[in-house]
Chains A and B, each alone.
Chain A
Amino acid sequence: MREIELTSIELKDVSKSFGSVFALRSTSLSVRKGEFLTLLGPSGSGKSTLLNLISGGYPASSGRILLNGKDITNAPPRQRGIGMVFQNYALMPHMTAFDNIAYPLRVRGYSKDDIRTKVTDALARVGLTGFENRKPKQLSGGQQQRVGIARCIVYSPAIIMMDEPLGALDKNLREQMQDEIKILHREIGTTFIYVTHDQEEALNMSDRICLMNNGGIVQLGTPDELYFQPISRFAAQFIGESNLLAGSVDDAGDLRIATGYSLKVPDHRGLVRGQRYEIMLRPERIHVARDGQGEVTPATATARGTVVGVSFIGSMTTLAVELPDGTLLKVKSTSLPAQNRYKVGESIGLRWDPEDLVVLRSED
């Protein structure tokens, strides 16, 4: 019983196919009340399909969708009481900001006074007080999306869905609005379902991320879990940067990789001796140093390699390091001035903590 009360929206074995093509394979997902859940994935991964099924854009091919315990699988969109923010804003071009925000209230038959109070409130919440008489064309992209958000929160829908709402904005504004949406979510406490293909946006904003690919869920978890404990090659590569190494488990239970190194892995559970596994190592978890400098000494180095590429990209410098057997590792380290920076051809020591090795246990 308590379970149901805490669940905002629940999908039970929901699938969607267009003709013989599956847009969403049978999927179950439960979103908690007040949660900020992000659907993350490349285009065609099924995230928009999932969103459309919840909003009622088209009917599910199979399965059931429950909103606050009520079956809405076949309910028309207008009866679901959901709010939606669109990538291209979808504001009525012939209406002022005020009338756009008042639209859902007028649909619901609110009195003139109530409408004025609520709209004024919503405008203030998104920082657009004084803009009520502007038409969408007279507003910047960021302001238009704020109107879109105000139009959504004004009628307190059970859940608010945002379909790549910041996709049309430039980088700085996007980051600023990410924070605004986060604050808004904290203030109003409504369940948010947020769709994006931008991993940084997902990591920054979400309580949980639902990573999708090929019409199905790959991994569902907190941003930390997805970043530090990816379960598959796809998850490891889609979120953040990664080095993937393959090896087989030796008699000591360590992973022997092609380079000949034996790597201690933090978690031996379920590893089968002799079997091949892939492991992931984040580039920023690898420490590098010239011989005799810093904490990496020939004695403590996990491996040695030759620098074959250097790209200075601001705060971080990306190095491509070739191990003796030809394996390439990507290493990210804090940038140093040009005279101290690692140079191509230099021989360096590498060190990493066994805790940073993640065994990818799931096939994609």
Chain B
Amino acid sequence: MVTSATRGAGPFVAPAAILSLLVALVPIAFILYFSTMEGTSVEPFRTILKSSLFHRAMTTTVVVAFWASIISLVLGYIVALHLARQTARRRAALMVLVLLPFWTSILVKSYAFTIILGREGIINSFLSWLTGAQVALPLIFNRFGVMVGMTNYLTPLIVFPVLASLLAIDPALYRAAEVMGAKPIRIFLTITLPLSAPGVLAGVLSVAVMALGFFIVPALLGGRQDLMLANLVDFYTREVLDWNIASAVGVTLFALVGIFAIPATLIRRTKGRIAS
């Protein structure tokens, strides 16, 4: 569809398009090529489908991504609700706080969590001091650690799309509902929630897409049971040195991400059409 906004966009879009073609599509083509034994067989896919390690990593990936998205949604929605109620100036200031962790490398943040959550980390030391007994809660190298690390990273990605849809709600709707006698809970359930649904959906899908591909967090904060597909790719590439299997796992992950990424893009497009 050519609109006045898209006409003549070629020169502006071309540099970025060419760059992403080179750094993304070409490697992906190589991975596809490797995963099919240079295009001769689907043996690597057969191998991983029979591998219990792959099955476990696949299940872990889906389960972890699911819960990380849900927890991020709940936490992010609450933050967005709070931000939407502030004055524009206060909101701008608080937004910096939401973005602050975003400006820190995920590697640095993950190491920071090992200090906070570790056996002799800040939390356990504090609890030991408080109770006078040796406390060593298992907060790290397990699913809990992975969830903490991932939701910490993903929550801001929920806050922004949800906040945008909350701010788009006409404040007069709240006044009208109040005058008609509605209590705050009913107002939330009948107005706030349904009208912020597009933001929620966009946020959750993009968070899910990111969560599926997590690598550093499960590697640093997870245990042996928290191997995700990205870690499995790493395992086959560097430990087993079987690049065909590694590529097959990579292609599978790519397909999995596609399942979420495609509806996310579609939603964004319909939203844009409604807004225009």
Contact = CB atoms under 8 A, between A and B. Distances in A.
Interface of A: 55-57, 76-84, 86, 88, 90, 92-94, 103-104, 107-108, 151, 155
A41 to B, nearest CB: 21
Contacts of B182: 78, 103, 107
Nearest to A105: B180
A190 to B, nearest CB: 15
Contacts of A86: 172, 175-176
Contact of B179 (A82, A88, A94): A82
22 contacts: A55-B175, A56-B178, A57-B175, A76-B178, A78-B178, A78-B179, A78-B180, A78-B181, A80-B179, A81-B181, A83-B180, A86-B172, A90-B175, A92-B191, A94-B194, A103-B180, A103-B182, A103-B190, A107-B180, A107-B181, A107-B186, A155-B180
B173 interface: yes
Contacts of A92: 173, 190-191
A89 to B, nearest CB: 8
Interface in B14-44: none
Contacts of B220: none
- Which applies to chain A's interface (DSSP): helix, strand, loop or mixed? loop
Contact of A103 (B177, B194, B195): B177
> Nearest 6 pairs between A and B by C-beta?
A90-B172, A104-B180, A90-B176, A77-B178, A107-B181, A78-B181
B179 A108 contact: no
Contacts of A107: 180-182, 186
A122 to B, nearest CB: 13
B180 A151 contact: yes
Interface size class of B (residues with CB under 8 A): 10 to 19
A78 B183 CA distance: 7
Contacts of B190: 92, 103
B179 A55 contact: yes
B192 to A, nearest CB: 11
A90 B180 contact: no
Nearest to B174: A90
B100 to A, nearest CB: 33
B88 to A, nearest CB: 17
Contacts of B186: 107
B239 interface: no
Contacts of B177: 103
Interface in B139-175: 170, 172-173, 175
Contacts of A77: 175, 178-179
Contacts of A55: 175, 179
A56 B181 contact: no
B188 to A, nearest CB: 13
Given A94-B194, A94-B195, A108 B173 contact: no
Contacts of A79: 181
Residue among A55, A57, A88, A104 with max Cβ neighbours from chain B (10 Å):
A104
Contacts of B176: 84, 86, 90
B191 A83 contact: no
Given A90-B170, A107-B186, A84 B194 contact: no
